[in-house]
């Protein structure tokens, strides 16, 4: 009987098998698929590593587990044995990620293995409905929501920072004065993936398409200025971004939301998004 090996670093020879796993559940795998489809599995191009767990003799065969390791740790597939393999390798490597995120069963199982040495977490969000839709929105999109132009970065950035602080609980400018966060937002704007409604020059609604794979676009950073909440801007604004993804980009639109955020969940349901899975996030 072959002995089960530890977590194995994958490379481009494993790309067909990895893509098979990613495309089998494109909504749940969007964050990883967006990277792998573009960069392959070479760590330098990918900006991270992809691990599997199984017999060493199975290169080119079945992948018993799959985990992306980079700015976020994203376990996509794996039973308890595979998650333990990933945890052992992650512990040897040391924590370089800011969060664990992905399908709830894998994230919470991996966190159970890592918590004794990596804990306590700053926050554990164990129930985040993963929602998606492949059809146009069920209500009229806001016609004033549009892609942000590069010259509007300085007007858009305060809203992006406010959203991040409200959602994540930390200021993204804390480590380097905001240079890296500003660069990330500028990259999204340049790619046509940041959307906003401006009133009198100020952002009153914003959202972004974070991960964009060949099949799915994942909406993130949905935010309405506090004094404009309760007027339907979040619902119609989200519908505008969904419409851009579904009709403009021929993608399935998806997002995940905290289960306790009842107003947001209701708004997304009015747009037509339906729960297709469950995510979890562990924040450090």
**Crossing angle of the two packed helices 104-118 and 80-93, in degrees rounded to 10:** 40
Mean pLDDT computed over 8-21: 94
SS3 call for 70: coil
Mean pLDDT computed over 261-272: 96
Which pLDDT value is given to residue 1? Answer: 30
Which pLDDT value is given to residue 174? Answer: 87
List pLDDT tens digits, range 204-229.
999 999 999 999 999 999 999 999 99
Please give the full DSSP string across 219-270, using - where no structure is assigned.
Answer: EEEEEE-GGGTTSSHHHHHHHHHHHIIIIIS--EEEEE--TT-HHHHHHHHH
E strands present in the chain: 7-9, 49-53, 66-69, 72-77, 99-103, 123-133, 146-147, 194-199, 202-212, 216-224, 252-256, 274-283
Name 229's Cβ contacts closer than 8 Å, sequence gap at least 6: none
Q: How confident is the model at residue 57 (pLDDT cuts 50, 70, 90)?
A: very low
- Asked whether the bond before 248 is cis by omega within 30 degrees of 0, the reply is no
Residue 12: half-sphere exposure toward Cβ, Cα within 13 Å = 9
Q: How confident is the model at residue 55 (pLDDT cuts 50, 70, 90)?
A: low
DSSP H/E element including 163: helix 153-168
Strand-pairing partners, residue 100, are: 73, 282
User: Which of 10-14, 46-50, 56-60, 179-183 is least confident?
Assistant: 56-60
CB 283 within 8 A of CB 98: yes
Whole-angstrom distance, CA of residue 142 vs CA of residue 144: 5
List pLDDT tens digits, range 233-266.
999 999 999 999 999 999 999 999 999 999 999 9
Whole-angstrom distance, CA of residue 12 vs CA of residue 166: 39
Which pLDDT value is given to residue 63? Answer: 77
Which pLDDT value is given to residue 180? Answer: 94
The pTM of this model reads 0.93
Name 62's Cβ contacts closer than 8 Å, sequence gap at least 6: 17, 54
Which pLDDT value is given to residue 88? Answer: 95
> For the chain, what is the mean pLDDT?
94
What percentage of the chain reaches a pLDDT higher than 70?
95
Q: Does the pLDDT value for residue 79 go beyond 80?
A: yes
Whole-angstrom distance, CA of residue 247 vs CA of residue 1: 52
Mean pLDDT computed over 99-121: 97
């Amino acid at each position: 009987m072959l002995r089960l090996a530890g977590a194995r670093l994958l490379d481009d020879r494993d790309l067909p098998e990895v893509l098979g796993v990613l495309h089998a559940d494109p909504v749940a795998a969007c964050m990883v698929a967006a990277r792998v489809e573009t960069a392959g599995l070479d760590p330098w191009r990918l900006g991270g590593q992809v691990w599997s767990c199984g017999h060493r003799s199975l290169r080119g065969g079945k992948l018993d587990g799959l985990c992306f390791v980079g700015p976020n740790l994203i376990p996509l597939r794996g039973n308890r044995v595979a998650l333990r393999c990933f945890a052992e390798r992650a512990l040897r490597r040391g924590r370089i990620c800011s969060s664990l995120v992905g399908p709830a069963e894998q994230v919470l199982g991996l966190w159970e293995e890592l918590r004794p040495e990596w804990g306590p977490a700053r926050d554990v969000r164990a129930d985040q409905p993963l929602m998606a839709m492949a059809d146009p929105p069920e209500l009229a999109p806001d016609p004033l929501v549009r892609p942000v132009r590069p010259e509007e970065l300085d007007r858009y950035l305060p809203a992006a920072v406010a959203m991040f602080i409200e959602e994540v609980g930390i200021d993204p400018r804390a480590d380097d004065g905001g240079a890296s966060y500003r660069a990330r937002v500028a990259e999204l704007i340049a790619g046509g993936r940041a959307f906003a409604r401006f009133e009198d020059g100020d952002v009153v609604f914003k959202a972004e398409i974070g991960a964009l794979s060949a099949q799915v676009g994942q909406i993130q950073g949905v935010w309405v200025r506090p004094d404009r909440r309760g007027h339907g801007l979040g619902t119609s604004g989200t519908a505008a971004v969904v419409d851009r993804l579904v009709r403009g980009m021929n993608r399935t639109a998806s997002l995940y939301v905290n289960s306790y955020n009842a107003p947001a969940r209701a708004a997304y349901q009015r747009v037509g998004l339906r729960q297709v899975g469950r995510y979890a996030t562990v924040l450090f």
